[in-house]
């Protein structure tokens, strides 16, 4: 990746204060809300070239460029940059960390001003609409009234959809990749078992594990690793796993193999690595809160929602991947049908990709081309034409 963005810095801003608290859907308020975000490209004078990127469950504000090591780049660096589909020569791209997250934006490990200690499980149960409400504050802070586009994969796409329901005038173009309008029982089940693994870990200590850190306790690391390992299975297609690992054993080439109950197969080693490395970058409480936001999300629960979206004038691009079984194409088709029924203009494309749900982070043929074409058209039409 030599043609990408250079060094970028994560910025921080306070967007909820004691005088102007963020009032949440549950009725509670947050009197101090910090948001971590990054921007790429320049906002033009007309302020009509802003594209908002919403990250997935375990993503963060660092979507593109690097923080010092050009080899370690943001999670959507293939999509964002000069000449890329989200072309930073033309667009001003914004990506914040989510409310409830653990990567710079206020979440369960942030200090509760009322107590001077981290919230822990006293952090309010945030909802998808709260994500949007906070991001609207970020837009206001940046002096942007309306977005040329909002783009997100997985949970990020769910948030984009919520934005078009909640503030239909604010998003001219919505791009939902590998996303859903509401989870199935099976989707909820996988998240539920992950949460149970975390909450039943003795290290969880009723969510006060952070108090013990000084004494060398390490929190619910076993449960969090198990949750991640299990979730990771659902992010890959069966085909991708077969291709990548098959039934190959560890040390097979060197004859170092010995049958046991531990890590014998290469797929086991891979999952263990995934579980372990997750601990360095994610927090267990954020995992609980953010997965719960997904469970409760139901974009069209209000039967007038799709009509409101139509009135707002947003155009949609919905992309699914044929081997994604976490949010299979059926999820995308449900959104398509609901929006089309209400008269919303929607382009839908199922991309062939061997990699399952994770495809939204990769570059299967046709995927970025589809987004680029949609964004180029959005750019041509501009904010005026789309409203």
Q: How far is the CB of 221 from a second copy (least distance, A)?
A: 9
Least Å distance, CB 130 to a second copy, is 13
DSSP reduced 3-state for 96: strand
Residue 138, classified by CB atoms within 10 Å of its CB into exposed (0-12), middle (13-18) or buried (19+), is middle
Least distance to a second copy, CB of residue 383, Å = 36
Which stretch, 95-103, 184-192, 316-324, 339-347, contacts a second copy (CB under 8 A)?
A: 184-192
For residue 40, the minimal CB distance to a second copy (Å) is: 34
Q: How far is the C-alpha of 322 from the C-alpha of 356, rounded, in Å? A: 7
Is 122 among the residues that bind a second copy (CB under 8 A)? no
157 near a second copy, judged by CB under 8 A: no
Contact 36, 12 (CB under 8 A): yes
User: How far apart (Å, rounded) are the C-alpha atoms in residues 112 and 294?
Assistant: 24
**Of 129, 357, 358, 359, which one is the catalytic site residue?**
357
Nearer to a second copy, 20 or 196 (CB): 196
Q: Would you call 154 a catalytic residue per the annotation?
A: yes
Our answer to whether residue 320 is catalytic in this structure is no
Closest CA to 371 of 84, 21, 2: 84
User: Considering the complex, what minimum distance in angstroms separates the CB of residue 147 from a second copy?
Assistant: 29
Contacts of 329 (CB under 8 A, 6+ apart): 320, 321, 322, 350
Asked if residues 362 and 371 have their Cβ atoms less than 8 Å apart, the reply is: no
In the chain, the N- to C-terminal Cα span, in Å, equals: 36
Token digits of residue 373: 């074409």
State which residue, 49 or 181, has the beta carbon closest to a second copy: 181
Interface mask toward a second copy for 20-59; x: CB under 8 A:
------x---------------------------------
Beta bridge mates, 93: 40, 51
Residue 32's φ and ψ, nearest 5 degrees, are -145, 110
Task: Scan for tokens 């069209």, then name that residue.
Answer: 300
Active site annotation includes 307: no
Q: Which stretch of DSSP H or E encloses residue 350?
A: strand 346-351
* Shortest separation between residue 155's beta carbon and a second copy, angstroms: 17
Site membership for a second copy, residue 195 (CB under 8 A): yes
Cβ neighbours for 283, distance < 8 A, ≥ 6 positions apart = 102, 107, 108, 109
- Pairing of the two strands 11-16 and 22-23: unpaired
Q: Closer to a second copy at the Cβ: 148 or 183?
A: 183
Least distance from C-beta 203 to a second copy, angstroms? 9
Judged by CB, which is closer to a second copy: 149, or 236? Answer: 236
The one catalytic residue among 129, 154, 180, 286: 154
| Number of shown-chain residues binding a second copy (CB under 8 A) | 52
What ranges make up the beta strands (E) of 17-130?
A: 22-23, 29-30, 33-40, 50-54, 80-81, 86-87, 92-96, 111-112, 117-118
Among 211, 238, 302, 376, binds a second copy (CB under 8 A): 238
Cα distance between residue 160 and residue 332, in whole Å:
13
Token representation of residue 176: 């939902």
Q: How far is the CB of 9 from a second copy (least distance, A)?
A: 34
**Closest CB to a second copy among 202 and 343?**
202
192, 311, 333, 362: residue in contact with a second copy (rule CB under 8 A): 192
Over the window 286 to 305, marking each residue x when it contacts a second copy by CB under 8 A and - when it does not, the resulting string is --xx--x--xx-x-------
In the complex with a second copy, the residue whose CB is nearer, 147 or 198, is 198
The window from 46-54, 112-120, 240-248, 333-341 that contacts a second copy (CB under 8 A) reads 240-248
Active site residues: 154, 324, 357
What residues make contact with a second copy under the rule CB under 8 A?
A: 26, 121, 125, 182-186, 188-190, 192-193, 195-197, 199-202, 222, 225-226, 229-230, 233, 236, 238, 241-242, 244-247, 259-265, 267-268, 271-272, 275, 288-289, 292, 295-296, 298
């Amino acid at each position: 990746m030599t043609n990408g963005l250079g060094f970028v810095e994560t910025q921080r801003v306070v967007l909820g204060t004691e005088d102007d608290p963020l009032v949440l859907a549950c009725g509670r308020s947050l009197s101090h809300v910090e948001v971590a975000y990054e921007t790429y490209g320049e906002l033009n004078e007309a302020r009509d070239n802003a594209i908002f990127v919403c990250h997935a469950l375990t993503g963060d504000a660092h979507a593109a460029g690097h923080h010092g090591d050009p080899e370690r780049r943001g999670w959507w660096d293939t999509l964002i940059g000069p000449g890329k589909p989200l072309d930073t020569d033309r667009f001003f791209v914004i990506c914040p960390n989510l409310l409830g997250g653990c990567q710079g934006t206020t979440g369960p490990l942030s200090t509760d001003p009322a107590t001077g200690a981290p919230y822990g499980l006293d952090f309010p149960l945030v909802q998808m609409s709260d994500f949007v409400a906070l991001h609207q504050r970020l837009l206001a802070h940046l002096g942007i009234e309306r977005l040329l586009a909002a783009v997100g994969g997985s949970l990020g796409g769910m948030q984009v959809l919520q934005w078009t329901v909640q503030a239909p005038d604010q998003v001219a173009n919505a791009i939902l990749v590998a996303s859903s309008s509401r989870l199935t029982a099976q989707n909820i089940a996988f998240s539920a078992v992950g949460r149970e693994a975390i909450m039943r870990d003795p290290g969880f200590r009723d969510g006060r594990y952070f108090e013990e850190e000084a004494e060398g306790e390490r929190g619910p690391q076993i449960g969090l690793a198990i949750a991640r390992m299990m979730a990771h299975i659902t992010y890959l297609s069966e085909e991708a796993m077969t291709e990548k690992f098959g039934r190959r054993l560890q040390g097979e080439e060197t004859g170092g193999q010995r049958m046991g109950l531990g890590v014998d197969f290469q797929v086991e080693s891979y999952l263990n690595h995934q579980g372990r490395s997750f601990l360095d970058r994610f927090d267990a409480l954020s995992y609980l809160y953010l997965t719960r936001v997904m469970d409760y999300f139901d974009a069209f629960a209000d039967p007038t929602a799709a009509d409101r979206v139509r009135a707002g004038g947003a155009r949609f691009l919905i992309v699914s991947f044929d081997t994604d079984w976490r949010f299979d194409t059926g999820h995308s088709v449900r959104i398509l049908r609901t929006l089309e029924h209400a008269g919303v203009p929607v382009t839908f494309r199922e991309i062939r990709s061997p990699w399952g749900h994770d495809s939204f982070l990769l570059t299967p043929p046709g995927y970025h081309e589809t987004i680029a074409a949609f964004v180029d058209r959005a750019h041509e039409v501009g904010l005026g034409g789309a409203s």
